[in-house]
């Protein structure tokens, strides 16, 4: 019978198994599993700190540590975007033959599931640059900043409209205060 950390043994109903050697079985199995996780993480260019149980680090430190993974991702996105296009063409042909329908055209394949880790200052500078170039507006910033509160563009635009209406009302109140009788009587001549 083969026995090991990566083996599953079936003994049956009346079967029993005892381990005589090595004496530190739990430690050796734990070490084996930990080493396997570390090797797996390194094969996929992932930092091994989650295996070792180290504490969380700043966003900038994570960005620097994951730079190799991000570089690998750039080439993978280019490669898999082409593969997706080819798969779509095959599926489009199958739909046309089997169902007699047109699947349309593939407009864009979006692989934007990773987020860029920026400091608060870098994020503000990025938003200012995108605003100046017309790539985003204030509603986009609200949706990025608080996606739970502003899940869609309509909610964000409603909030901005209410806020601008409140600012206009405040301005109107200031104008009305200047034209009151009391302000006219107390104004120095």
**What is the reported pLDDT for 123?**
86
What count of other Cβ atoms lies within 10 Å of the Cβ of residue 127? 18
Q: Is the dihedral of CA 154, 159, 161, 162 positive or negative?
A: positive
Q: With beta carbons less than 8 A apart as the criterion, state whether 117 and 60 touch.
A: yes
pLDDT at residue 164 is higher than 60: yes
Q: Give me the phi and psi of 107, to 5 degrees please.
A: -75, -55
Q: Is the pLDDT of residue 83 over 90?
A: no
- The reported pLDDT for the residue numbered 128 is 92
Q: Where are the domains of the chain?
A: 7-55, 57-115, 118-178
- Cβ neighbours around 77 below 10 Å, total: 15
Contact 114, 73 (CB under 8 A): yes
Closest CA to 118 of 70, 177, 58, 35: 58
pLDDT, position 129: 92
């Amino acid at each position: 019978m083969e026995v090991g950390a990566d083996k599953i043994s079936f003994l049956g109903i009346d079967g029993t198994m005892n381990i005589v050697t090595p004496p530190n079985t739990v430690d050796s199995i734990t070490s084996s599993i930990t080493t396997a996780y570390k090797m797996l993480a390194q094969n996929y260019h992932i930092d091994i700190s989650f295996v070792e149980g180290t504490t969380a680090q700043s966003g900038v430190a994570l960005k620097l540590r994951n730079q190799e993974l991000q570089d690998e991702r750039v080439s993978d996105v280019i490669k898999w975007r082409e593969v997706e296009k080819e798969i779509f063409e095959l599926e489009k042909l199958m739909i046309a033959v089997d169902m007699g329908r047109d699947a349309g055209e593939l407009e864009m394949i979006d692989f934007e599931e990773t987020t860029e880790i920026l400091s608060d200052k870098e994020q503000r500078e990025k938003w200012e640059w995108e605003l100046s170039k017309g790539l985003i507006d204030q509603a986009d910033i609200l949706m990025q900043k608080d996606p739970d509160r502003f899940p869609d563009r309509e909610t964000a635009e409603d909030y901005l409209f209410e806020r601008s209406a409140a600012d206009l009302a405040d301005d109107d109140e200031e104008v009305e205060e200047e034209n009151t009788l009391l302000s006219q009587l107390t104004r120095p001549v």
